[in-house]
Amino acid sequence: MAKNGDKVTVRSVSGKTYEYIWKDTPSSGAMKDVYFSPDKSYVVAFFKDPQDANAIDRLQNLVGTYRQGIFGGPGGDYWKKIYCWPTDIVREGNKVAIIVPAYHKEFFFTYGSKTLDIKSGEKEGKWFTNPWHRYCNLDAREVGDWHSYFDICLLLARGVRRMHMAGLAHSDLSYKNVLVDPVSHSAAIIDIDGLVVPGKYPLDVTGTPDFIAPEVYATMHLPKSDPNRKLPNGNTDLHALAVLIYMYLLCRHPLEGKKIWDVEDEQHDKTLAFGEKAVFIEDPTNKINRYNVDWVRNNQPKSRLPYMLPWMDLDKLPYTILGPYLKDLFDRAFIQGLHNPSMRPKAFEWEDGLIQTMDLMIPCQNPNCKQKWFVFDNSASNPKCPFCGTPYKIPLPVLNLYNKANTSYKPTGMRVMVYNGTRLYQWHANPRVARNEKLTGEQKKSLACFQFHQGKWYLRNERAKGMTDLQTKQSIPAGSIVELKDGVQIRLDDENSRMIYVQMVNK
Amino acid sequence: MRRLPVYLLVDVSGSMHGEPIESVKNGLQLLVAALRKDPQALETAYLSVITFGSSAQQIVPLTELSAFNMPEISAGGCTVLGEALQLVCKCRENEVTKTTAEQKGDWRPMVFILTDGVPTDDPQPGIDKFRSMKWGASVSCAAGPGADKALLDKITPECVVELASADQSTLSAFFKWVTASIVSTSKSINESGTSTGSMDQLPPPPPEVQIV
């Protein structure tokens, strides 16, 4: 019998050897006991329960074919940051373990909390979705700003999109299975051993409360063999993804509202509220589940109200502060698609929506604003930060992007807000380049940047070759600057590149 | 927000004096420290401690984990378990929020009862009152051979566990299991299908803690 601290050597089914340090009381999750390798670069995670042939077959596919498919191709290394993907399988007697890379160091708290002993603890998502945790319990140096969470959501959407492209479903996306670091703007999807290939392998999880899709909740009472029983799949992942994005950006749950469905039985109430009867708290046409500030005051512990209330004030911070693209996606996720799984936005749509929304973000001019960023609201005559109320006081150039169409240009619906530091990239200028994991080093270099100087806005061409003012037909060579004025039309790069049409607002 | 109330009923009779009561204090401290590291438990779990010796006292009212201060606990006197059961029912009536159309009430409380002996009062009225209410998980723990397991089985037929002795390492294992039970309940209370009263929602106890 091994003693605490002993080094144990195991051989995987593929013949490789691994070492781990024995602990009498290993870190333990719901399904696995986890032991670290001596250099802490990987863990050996033993399943507590015996795994049947089916489960082992599934694991073998995950560490083999599917892993190869995602990590083996060009640019495969990109995914190492986003997934904590098991690499090998160990069988010791009737025990089965998987070898999983250790989490990157940014996913452990550096400062943790001023009041709680969580330094070096894992940054599981839950710490960042409850505003009382985010703004009271955690050290301010751990929580980043609002932009951090857009970047985190983008990485999650990208991670889910790649999985779904491979035909896989995570089946248990939740803040428990996602590690985030708002400081370095990173996120990683963990617990990937539960992945399912739809239609091919049986499932061993139903998901995590708060993220289980309504159709799964509503049919949970049926036996697994019942054809009406709904099990986790790609569409339920898309519900969980939408809930995660909503929670990271707005610090509240989209379905957890005021409506009580069963006064007698809390359990049954929750089943209905998240299942059969689920209603989006901000559904504009069905306000049954919507709460107001008075209700929040009665339903949250008093000491937490200063942290909860700004976020739970649905009038002050409605989901429309996320801008038109995300509003549209949330409408599809939580209104049209809530009980109609095939209508939910796909992961790539979230990716696009988040990218386009980030182009609408401008920095709050209040240096003490905790969120530091907000999404410009096209419909408001006087833009101001929805969090701290500080008005935006300088002229704001809006760049409307147009695609080349034969001899003329057609609107793309994409916009870029200009602030000190805005940069334009290949994916703005070239309709064939998308902002995703395939970007080359060259494509990540900015083409143009913007500066506000003595009351005027200027564009500086950094490296675009064919940039041209389309009205004067003057070339704008790399290194030169041009003033931004209402109505200016600039072709960003070569003949086929996009054009920006400048609109000055907030003059 | 629905809170998860947790009531710990601790025997502080004379026989608990010394190592047992020190181990209980130690276990309680570890329990609070561990729960504070779990974001879900920290959000929802609220803790109360009721002691019973010559009288039953709620020494810590239902308190959120972040505000929980370790109480002074000392052992001495007899074992009024019946009175403690009456008291936990009364505390629940006062402290646990009931659901109304306008307010989300709390989850059903979890109750853990730890005793090493035989009640010195008539426990029946307390048992009747306790059994008339619906609890989440309710667990009683016979700490050492002196406890009346048959009686505990009447209080919490769902689950009685037994410790071979009330020493430091055994009690520490018990408190670890209680911690894990609270953590897993705070995560799964939202789950539909099964009620929180069922024992299979709790993690399996360590070898030191035998299910009777």
DSSP characters for A378-436? Answer: TT-SS-B-TTT-PBP-S-EEEEEEEEEETTEEEEEEEEEE--TT-EE-HHHH-TT--SS
What is d(CA B64, CA B36) in angstroms, rounded to the nearest whole number? 10
Q: Which residues of B touch A127 (CB under 8 A)?
A: 39
pLDDT value at residue B195:
42
Contacts A176 to B, Cβ<8 Å: 187
Q: Which pairs with CB-CB distance under 8 Å and at least 24 residues apart come from A448-455?
A: A448/A423, A448/A424, A448/A492, A449/A421, A449/A422, A449/A423, A449/A424, A450/A397, A450/A418, A450/A419, A450/A420, A450/A421, A450/A422, A450/A423, A450/A484, A451/A420, A451/A481, A452/A394, A452/A419, A452/A420, A455/A395
Give the residue from A474, A450, A476 showing the smallest Cα distance to A465.
A476
For residue A196, give the DSSP letter. B
CB-nearest to B64 from A258, A268, A301 is: A301
Q: Are A454 and A431 in contact (CB under 8 A)?
A: no
**Taking CB atoms and an 8 Å limit, are A275 and B192 in contact across chains?**
yes
Mutant choice from B40, B42, B104 vs A, greatest count of A C-beta within 10 A = B104
Domains for chain B: give ranges and CATH numbers.
4-110+119-139+147-211 (3.40.50.410)
- Residue A248 host element (H or E): helix A234-250
Query: What confidence score (pLDDT) does residue A267 get?
Result: 86
Predicted local distance difference test score (pLDDT) of residue A85:
95
* CB-closest option in A115, A133, A299 to B104: A299
Q: Give the pLDDT confidence of A391-446 residue by residue, as tens digits.
A: 999 999 999 999 999 889 999 999 999 999 899 999 999 999 999 999 999 999 99
- Rounded to whole angstroms, the Cα distance separating A80 from B158 reads 46
CA–CA dist A345, A63 (Å, integer): 29
Residue numbers in chain A where pLDDT is lower than 50: none
What the block records as the tokens of A6 is 């002993």
Residues of A in contact with B3 (CB under 8 A): 301
What are the structural domains, with CATH classification, of chain A? Answer: 7-102 (3.30.200), 123-359 (1.10.510.10), 394-505 (2.60.200.20)
- Judged by CB atoms closer than 8 Å, whether chains meet at B99 and A137 is answered as no
Task: Round to whole Å and give the CA distance between B127 and A358.
Answer: 61
Give the closest of A116, A217, A263 to B192, CB-based: A217
Distance from CA of A428 to the nearest CA of B (A): 40
Contact A127 B39 (CB under 8 A): yes
Q: Which token pair is A386?
A: 């929805």
Partner-chain contact A116 B188, CB within 8 Å: no
Interface subset of A 273-292, CB within 8 angstroms of B: 274-275
Q: E strands, A183-336, where?
A: 186-189
* Confidence at residue B200, expressed as pLDDT on a 0 to 100 scale: 60
Tell me what pLDDT residue B196 has.
42
B101/A263 Cβ within 8 A? yes
Per-residue pLDDT at A31: 82
* Residue of chain A minimizing CA distance to B196: A267
Looking at residue A190, its pLDDT comes to 93
Cα distance from B182 to chain A (closest Cα, Å)?
A: 14
Confidence at residue B199, expressed as pLDDT on a 0 to 100 scale: 57
